Amino acid sequence: MNRLAGKTCLVTGAAQGIGRSIAEAFSAEGARVIAIDLGWKEEEAVPDSMVRVSLDATNAAAVDVLAAEYPEVSVLVNCVGWVANGALLDCPLEDYDRCMNINVRSMVLTMRAFLPFMRQRRQGAIINIASVVSTVMAAPGRFAYATSKAAVIALTQSVALDYAADGIRCNCISPGTIDTPSLHSRFAAAADPEAVRRAFVERQPMKRLGSASEIASVALLLASDEAAFMTGSNVVVDGGMSL
């Protein structure tokens, strides 16, 4: 349908999971995609319209250089993230700091780098990946992660309000439990991976996990001109998990 034809889109965390699905969906809809990740494999094939970039989104200097190289980016998707385990008294402060650095500071850095160019053109769309484990709902043993994703929602709303008059839209998506390589890794670390997976599925009202492509479909809407009157929204996509 070429809903993003003529747009240059940048996606962080684009090598796998939700980020990869978003990058591929955008590419399929006519966008040129700058796909950022530290986990790219040399032999990995990507569409001709996708440019792979190995970059640490928490490195301010590197992000600024990236923005100077691609000032034409009109859609920014912040998808890089990390899950820290433990309740407040159990989670090491080092893990809390890492969670906030990856999940929140990386978004601040990319937005600070690309927003000035978007403001010059008076047009831009920013999509931040948050989570239902935030201000939407709590989950056991996710103190640092929930705190970081709550910050993402507040960050999104703040940017949306401050820059709406400049033609910038900023929205976030709060996924529930999504079937991704990251989730598989957490299953594999459990004593009984299959039992943990069954428990995750059982707590879903729809009795299944979400797919990365289902999140990508929402990101595609938010990136397109069809969502021209949407800003500051937190779109919950969790199969009813938070109800």
Neighbours of 159 (CB within 10 A): 23
**Catalytic residue of the set 70, 96, 145, 163:** 145
Q: Is 145 a catalytic residue?
A: yes
What the block records as the tokens of 241 is 């998990």
CB 145 within 8 A of CB 177: no
> Which ranges of the chain would DSSP assign to H, the alpha helix?
17-28, 60-69, 93-100, 106-121, 143-163, 181-188, 193-202, 212-223
Q: What is the 8-class DSSP label of residue 42?
A: T
CB 169 within 8 A of CB 231: yes
Q: How far is it, in rounded angstroms, from Cα 150 to Cα 232? A: 14
Q: Rounded to the nearest 10 degrees, how much is the dihedral formed by the CA atoms of 89, 95, 100, 103?
A: -120
Q: Which residues belong to the active site?
A: 145
